[in-house]
Chains A and B, each alone.
Chain A
Amino acid sequence: MNTMTFEEILNRLRATRAWRSIFRRGPARTNRTRSLAIFGNVFLHLLPVKVREQSLRVRATYYLGTISFFMFVVLTLTGILLMFYYHPAVPQAYLDMKDLRFVVSNGVFLRNLHRVAAHVMVIAVFWHMFHVFYRGGYRPPHEFNWAVGVMLLLLTLLLSYTGYLLPWDQLAFWAITVGTNILSAAPFFGSQLRYLLLGGNLVGENALLRFYVLHCVILPLVAALLIGVHFWRIRKDGGLTLREDYERDKK
């Protein structure tokens, strides 16, 4: 029997027409093909082709931005799975939560994963921002990317907050009631703003539907867009700011 090593299988695969049509480069053994691997890929081209050795150290970033982004990915994946078992209606939303616990296979685990990732994302995004501040990473030419980061922080909070209502239990209902009551304190059009967000004067069926659409469609799309801009601007602004840069610039 003819046995092939993994390497041979891979090489044979790489030689196929389909593979070559997709990747258009040979194995990444030279710096040229390694560069092609980055800028020849629509997603990876957001990243720089080369990175400074120091910026790869754990202590340079603690991977906080990476963690935030990965949480977003995990939340998207688990969120899509959760959407299969969820109806944004009163009281069906709550019954779906019960089903997740008692009927759906691994439903509890799925919901736990989504919730843990959400908490980690909020913490990671905050920590990321403070860390960037202390490293002087907001300074020119990173001003705009810092502003994009602040917007991403707000989006993270809004994503988490809109998701908070979806289980439609006491915890969810009153947290949103307390939070949106603050909105009516806004000058001139406070109560109108609250009405717009809730689709009514009280947290009810319309509010659930609005929060659902915001949580599952609008906010994730905007966040994904801004994450793309955020990554791309790191490259365009000349890479990460390291503590060494900051300390040296001071002298």
Chain B
Amino acid sequence: MSETKNSFEAGVGSNALKTPERVVFITSKTSAQVKERADRQLMSYPQLILREVIAFEVLTIVLVIVALAWDAPLEQLANPLLTPNPAKAPWYFLGLQELLHYFPPLVAGIVIPTLVVVALVVIPYFNVNIKGEPLWAAYRSRRFLIFIVSVGLLLVFLGLYRAWTVLVPTVAIAGLTIVSFFQLKRPYRLISFLQTRPLSWWVMTWFIAVSLTLTVVGTFFRGPGWSWVWPWR
């Protein structure tokens, strides 16, 4: 990097990967703007506005149809003396309620949700692997060892708490990660896709898989006393 005279002058010929494209060369007389791209630009009015209006109309029609067909439930008047079994939270919190079944309330109800929110917020502030390099691209054996040990510990922990509905999706995603480690001669398309995925992709996919499993199980597969039930019985 060349010597800079003031803090607003960036070095010349900086690598777009090291300093991603949004970094602008701000000279004293221009305002910050994102680097121009080659592809075609359209006027927002009417191109974008028109599409949004059409999207709104289509959505409204769909909503009206669903609202006509699907009635909102209304049960008996609230009665603090009559506890339903099971008492369930709204569907988007049933994943948490399922976690509460396994872990103490402080962990499942406070620590984990807080950690998830904090993790989501800080994701972009760590410029780790901004190139999105595949997990198994370098330091293969070392990374594999770290992966096996950490996932193994996690599985032991989940097993000790008998948290099967967390354990199963974890095993599934970890299995896919391990499958993508081996370099096959003629891999399937899914596997060759997985082989290009960075660690962040795996973590997020694992998070989604676990959340989805917990929510589905909590919604459909839990009955009285939070016991396992089959929804079709």
Separation of A184 and B109 alpha carbons in the complex (Å): 9
Report the minimum CB–CB distance from B43 to chain A (whole Å): 5
B84 x A170 contact (CB < 8 A): yes
B43 x A143 contact (CB < 8 A): no
Separation of A21 and B215 alpha carbons in the complex (Å): 54
- Contact mask A95-110 → B, CB, 8 Å, 1/0? 0011001000000110
> A34: which of B43, B82, B104, B123 is its contact (CB, 8 Å)?
B43
Contacting A at CB under 8 A, from B15-53, are 16-17, 20-22, 33-34, 37, 39-49, 51-52
Give A contacts to B, CB under 8 Å: 28, 31, 34-35, 37-38, 44, 47-54, 56, 63, 66-67, 70-71, 74, 90-91, 94, 97-98, 101, 108-109, 111-117, 120, 122, 126, 129-130, 133-134, 136, 138-143, 146-147, 150, 154, 157, 160-161, 164, 167-175, 177-179, 181-187, 190, 202-204, 237-239, 245-246, 249-250
Chain B residue nearest to A73 (CB atoms) is: B56
Tell me which residues across on chain B come within 8 A of A56, comparing CB atoms. Answer: 42, 47-48, 51
A150 x B117 contact (CB < 8 A): yes
B123 x A146 contact (CB < 8 A): yes
How many residue-residue contacts, CB under 8 A, span A and B?
208
> A50: which of B41, B87, B93, B124 is its contact (CB, 8 Å)?
B41
A74, A126, A249: most-surrounded residue (chain B CB, <10 A)? A249
The 7 residue pairs across chains A and B that have the minimum distance between CB atoms: A238-B34, A185-B105, A182-B109, A173-B78, A143-B124, A112-B67, A174-B87
Chain B residue nearest to A33 (CB atoms) is: B45
Report the minimum CB–CB distance from B128 to chain A (whole Å): 11
Tell me which residues across on chain A come within 8 A of B190, comparing CB atoms. Answer: none
Report the minimum CB–CB distance from A64 to chain B (whole Å): 11
Tell me which residues across on chain A come within 8 A of B90, comparing CB atoms. Answer: 160-161, 164, 175, 179
Q: Does B231 touch A at the CB level, under 8 Å?
A: no
> A130: which of B44, B109, B132, B204 is its contact (CB, 8 Å)?
B204
> B41: which of A51, A182, A245 is its contact (CB, 8 Å)?
A51
Separation of A182 and B97 alpha carbons in the complex (Å): 9
A91, A146, A164, A171: most-surrounded residue (chain B CB, <10 A)? A171
Report the minimum CB–CB distance from A189 to chain B (whole Å): 12
> A44: which of B45, B89, B133 is its contact (CB, 8 Å)?
B45
A186/B110 contact (C-beta < 8 A), A115-B72, A173-B78 known: yes
Separation of A185 and B39 alpha carbons in the complex (Å): 53
